[in-house]
A and B are shown apart, each in its own frame.
Chain A
Amino acid sequence: MSVRLDINDIKKVYEQNEGARSWQSLIKKQKPGKPFTALNGLSVSVKAGSFTTIFGPNGSGKSTLFRLIAGLDEPTKGSIEIDGQSAATARIGFVFQNYRDSMLTWRTAIGNVRLALEARKVPPADHEKIAMNYLKKVGMGHVANKPFYSLSGGQAQLVSIARAFAYEPDILLMDEPFSALDFQTSLQMMQALLKLWEETGITTLFISHDIDEAVYLADQVMVLTKNPGKLQKMVDVKLPRPRSISMLTDPAFFKIRSRVLKEFEKGSK
């Protein structure tokens, strides 16, 4: 059921003045802004059902890569394939850092999860049960009928994770989902996320700026170079699952963490 993701020699160039042409440009030749290369020559293959974290400096094109996978934008060169097919038909789940702006403030927690069911045309009679089920899986059953705006940051983000899973995506993309949360909360979030991921086996990509988080969650850490971004190194994380917080102090964890850090420093030079 899980899908493999292949990113083949991707290049993404942003044309700066695109779309911003004014009438003046019709009579006066305007110098177009310099095109900006966000990604250049990124190739990587992600195993079906694996958990990959993406670790790279600011501006290395991590969010750009997600936009391309989600089909919100086209690569300038190269292709993205899911199980050997064009990614355009794949179902994508997305969790943003900014849950306040990506969720429906005017609905309840469960109402937000229901949106995913409405989107994939589940018969309405089943909505309540399925949505509640996903909320319970992230431990948010007790806030189901609270208005979304009244939830704490951690609760809100868990609800948005529940929504992403309720959409039953082929690929789950998470762009720094926990970076606005405190340490304690993000630990709880990681556990909830891993539990759900282990249950569903959805191929997951997770952008992180926290090296401990990146290593702890992953089967493999995709380290990107500074701009223009490409793959610096794929670092395998051979730690047993299920993960537990005590592993954060394990020597094996530290060894992997140091390798990731070394690659990161190499890529940022």
Chain B
Amino acid sequence: MNKLRALLRTRSFYAVAGPTAFVILWWVLSYWNNSAADPLVPKLFISTPDQVWNSFWEQVTTTDTGATSSLFEAVVDTLRRLVAGFAIAAVIGVPIGLAMGYFTRVYYSLEFFVDFLRSIPAAAIFPLFILIFGIGDPSIISVVTYACVLIIVVNTIYGVRSVKELRLMSAKIMRLGRLDMFRKIILPESLPYIFAGLRIAISYGMVIVIFSEMFIGTDSGLGRRIIDAQTVYRISDMYVSIVLTGLIGYLLNKLALLAERRIIHWEGK
């Protein structure tokens, strides 16, 4: 009894209980719907968890499902595009954000472009990238970069702005060099914001990869699989790719959080 009560107080209990409850609910509702004489939602659109699991197992174990590539390859393709686009965005975005946050002149010179580009959705710019880069990875990667880079820039600017005046002042009194000031004070103090930006960017990047794979971007990847399964009404197959997309997004976010806690160990203390 006491053990049960102790268990009810742990966080991991709820972290497991929530998703489990969700699957059970899904199970009950989908079975109830699909076994009714007059289903609320057409049976065709609803898969039960075991159907989805079977479809997943089938896609993993059989090599030939009529699709052009395996499920594993699709995951790899999607991840590659996401990570490449995101990495390029980080490499470009963080330095631009730092420069904009630190130098007022750079900020005012670029402020218009950043706000202007932020108002253009990635979807609107995608056709242009296809024209420039052709159909395939380069256009998808560049649209991911486009979507991520602005988020990273804006958050990095906030990070630099969050640096405490007093800390800069005490470094200035000690005549710390400009480069040291940057490396030893501004950069570490901006890190929490930079990381927040990176995490938001990678989640948003996932949205963009899936979206662009669905349309004329490519013939592989999870987004492609979702649309392919949908057009031939292989609903369970479609759910498999949707759930996988969600899981990958979840894992990426967890990974980023883990890295963040290790690097920014002082945050919130």
Our pick among A72, A98, A104, A150 for the contact of B269 (Cβ within 8 Å) is: A150
Q: Report the minimum CB–CB distance from B166 to chain A (whole Å).
A: 4
Interface of chain B, helix or strand or loop or mixed?
helix
Q: Is A27 an interface residue (CB 8 A)?
A: no
* A98 and B174 form a contact (CB under 8 A): no
**Complex CA distance for A102 and B176, rounded to whole angstroms:** 14
Q: Is A199 an interface residue (CB 8 A)?
A: no
* A102 and B175 form a contact (CB under 8 A): no
Q: Is A51 an interface residue (CB 8 A)?
A: no
Q: Is B266 an interface residue (CB 8 A)?
A: yes
Interface size class of A (residues with CB under 8 A): 20 to 34
Please indicate the chain B residues that have their CB under 8 angstroms from the CB of A116 in the complex. 174
Please indicate the chain A residues that have their CB under 8 angstroms from the CB of B173 in the complex. 70-72, 92-94
Known A92-B173, A102-B167, A119-B175; judge A149-B180 contact (CB<8 A): no
Our pick among B170, B185, B265 for the contact of A96 (Cβ within 8 Å) is: B170
Q: For residue B189, which residue of chain A has the nearest CB?
A: A106
Interface size class of B (residues with CB under 8 A): 20 to 34
**Complex CA distance for A106 and B187, rounded to whole angstroms:** 11
* B167 and A104 form a contact (CB under 8 A): yes
Please indicate the chain B residues that have their CB under 8 angstroms from the CB of A71 in the complex. 173
Interfacial residues of chain A within 77-104, with CB under 8 A of chain B in the complex: 91-94, 96, 98, 101-104
What residues of chain A have their CB less than 8 Å away from a CB belonging to chain B? 70-72, 91-94, 96, 98, 101-106, 115-116, 118-120, 147-150, 167
What residues of chain B have their CB less than 8 Å away from a CB belonging to chain A? 164-167, 169-176, 180, 184-185, 188-189, 264-266, 269
* Cβ contacts A to B, 26 pairs, < 8 Å: A71-B173, A72-B169, A72-B173, A92-B173, A94-B170, A94-B173, A96-B166, A96-B170, A98-B166, A102-B164, A102-B166, A102-B167, A102-B169, A103-B167, A104-B184, A105-B269, A106-B188, A106-B264, A106-B265, A115-B184, A116-B174, A119-B175, A120-B174, A147-B269, A149-B266, A150-B269
Given pairs A94-B170, A102-B164, 8 additional interface contacts (CB within 8 A): A92-B173, A94-B173, A101-B165, A102-B166, A103-B170, A105-B266, A149-B269, A150-B269
